[in-house]
């Protein structure tokens, strides 16, 4: 029988509902796991031991009284440290926000609490969710980057320190660390989940992300946090379907559009691995057709960088003028670059974005999903970088939903993944195809216990 810390959200939910597992026992198991792994992996900014145990006791008492809020009842989650949490520090891993304690929860956090989830604590992010590398390390090999910016959230899920976490994505900050750590990373459509109470990088790009070990768990979390929020002007009024129910709606093999021209930007091992994965999906019944990227990748990357830099500079302008010395080198360079971009260049980047989105929406009318490698290579052996997000940027740029699935290991023993892209607000279909691919590939990765792991002295 699995230890409580090893359970997925769905598995733990079933046991909690049937009173075979106490939320208190689950939290205690995860706290012991943190004591074992945190000295090496450095996942936590704040681990709220007492708060999590108090919440677990409340959830346990509710179950005893016949109150069950749903599949997140009593489930501990990690929260990236750019989400406001009432009464708990939200530092964005920056000296600028080192002592900031919000008085309210971000909408996504509030909705998790309403669904019965337990906030275990705040996970490490790169500074203000940008590019300066975090202290967190990759559990598969601490010499390799864990990816960013949702570094602590991804590593904590991969290492079974919690079964699910919230992240965010402005370029590749959910899907890339998911791929590097061998888990599921899901970025919904822009506007599908409220960003109220989330410290922004770029208002027109930022999207709340979900990190789990299975597609089903990602669907459970999305069902809890999706939906309109009057506090977020970008939040969509699109109705929220039953995402978990949608997982089983495929009646035939999916139609997959292969963006093969992106393969040239991956190393040889990733290219070969992705081709093998596609062949396995075809043998299982998928129909695959090659589709072109309708605009130059380099043009898309450049326009994305302009928008990101300008909007990041706009948010930080006042703080930066007073506290520039407190910012780390890479975010400081990003802000300074954004302040120098002419307004005409920013507007042209936004115009290109609308054209790219229109053309890619046309492609997605022909297929169920698009498929690319998740990353150009396995996690680099370089702790000064968080890796290359180029395979995520086109879809984040357009606001399309994407999901990364683990698909195997490299020759060096590091995780590899594939990425699926769906049409705007077609998360149900994307999750259904991802669930089908997950079942077909049958890949579940678990990192080894890192050297030096052990309980706190």
Residues marked active site are found at: 80, 149, 173
DSSP track, 205-239: T-EEEEEESSHHHHHHHHHHHBS--TT-TT-----
H/E element, 201: none
d(CA 102, CA 85): 6
Cβ–Cβ under 8 Å, residues 273 and 408: yes
C-beta of residue 270 within 8 angstroms of C-beta of residue 376: yes
Q: Give alpha helix (H) positions in 42-95.
A: 49-64
Do 250 and 258 contact (CB within 8 A), yes or no? no
Distance of CA 252 to the CA centre of its chain: 28
- By CB atoms closer than 10 A (0-12, 13-18, 19+), residue 12 is buried
Residue written as token pair 């002592």? 99
3-state secondary structure at position 383: coil
Using CA atoms, how far residue 397 sits from 51, 53, 118, 367, in Å, is 38, 40, 32, 20
Q: How many CB atoms lie within 10 A of CB 408?
A: 16
Coil, strand or helix at 256: strand
In this structure, are residues 259 and 274 in contact, taking their beta carbons and an 8 Å threshold? no
| Cβ–Cβ < 8 Å for 81, 125 | yes
Residues pairing with 256 in the sheet: 288, 369
Q: Helix axis angle, 23-41 relative to 49-64, nearest 10°?
A: 160
Q: What is the largest CA-CA distance in the chain?
A: 61
E strand map for 81-228: 118-123, 164-169, 184-187, 207-212
Distance of CA 387 to the CA centre of its chain: 15
Closest CA to 377 of 417, 421, 434: 417
Give 305's contacts (C-beta < 8 A, 6+ positions apart): none
């Amino acid at each position: 029988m699995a230890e409580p810390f090893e359970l997925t959200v769905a598995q733990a939910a079933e046991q909690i509902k049937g009173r075979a597992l106490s939320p208190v026992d689950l939290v205690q198991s995860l706290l012991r796991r943190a004591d074992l792994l945190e000295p090496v992996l450095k996942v936590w900014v704040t681990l709220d031991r007492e708060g999590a145990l108090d919440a677990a006791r409340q959830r346990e008492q509710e179950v005893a009284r016949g109150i069950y809020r749903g599949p997140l009842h009593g489930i501990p989650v990690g929260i990236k440290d750019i989400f406001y949490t009432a009464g708990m520090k939200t530092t964005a891993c920056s000296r600028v926000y080192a002592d900031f304690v919000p008085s309210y929860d971000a909408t996504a956090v509030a909705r998790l609490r309403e669904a019965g989830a337990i906030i275990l604590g705040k996970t490490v992010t790169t500074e203000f969710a940008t590019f300066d590398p975090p202290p967190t390390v990759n559990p598969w090999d601490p010499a390799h980057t864990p990816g960013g910016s949702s570094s602590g959230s991804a590593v904590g899920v991969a290492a079974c320190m919690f079964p699910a976490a919230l992240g965010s994505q402005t370029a590749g900050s959910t899907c890339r660390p998911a791929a590097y750590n061998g888990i599921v990373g899901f970025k919904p459509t822009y506007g599908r989940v409220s960003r109220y109470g989330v410290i922004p990088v770029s208002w027109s790009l930022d999207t709340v992300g979900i990190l789990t070990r299975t597609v089903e768990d990602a669907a459970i979390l999305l069902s809890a946090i999706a939906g309109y929020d009057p506090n977020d002007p970008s939040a969509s009024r699109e109705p929220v379907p039953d995402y978990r129910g949608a997982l089983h709606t495929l009646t035939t093999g999916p139609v997959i559009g292969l963006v093969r021209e992106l393969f040239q930007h991956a190393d040889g091992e990733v290219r070969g691995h992705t081709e093998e994965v596609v062949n396995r999906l075809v043998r299982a019944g998928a129909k695959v057709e090659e589709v072109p990227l309708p605009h130059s990748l380099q043009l898309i990357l450049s326009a994305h960088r302009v928008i990101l830099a300008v909007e990041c500079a706009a948010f930080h302008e006042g703080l930066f003028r007073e506290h520039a010395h407190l910012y780390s080198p890479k975010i400081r360079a990003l802000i300074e670059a954004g302040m120098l971009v002419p307004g005409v260049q920013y507007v042209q980047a936004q115009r290109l974005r609308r054209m790219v989105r229109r053309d890619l929406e046309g492609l997605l009318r022909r297929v169920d999903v698009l498929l690319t490698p998740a990353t150009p290579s396995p996690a680099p052996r370089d702790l000064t970088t968080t890796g290359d997000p180029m395979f995520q940027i086109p879809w984040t740029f357009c606001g399309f939903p994407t999901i990364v699935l683990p698909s195997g290991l490299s020759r060096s023993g590091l995780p590899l993944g594939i990425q699926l892209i769906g049409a705007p607000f077609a998360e149900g279909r994307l999750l259904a195809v991802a669930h089908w691919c997950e079942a077909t590939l049958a890949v579940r990765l678990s990192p080894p216990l890192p050297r030096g792991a052990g309980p706190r002295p």
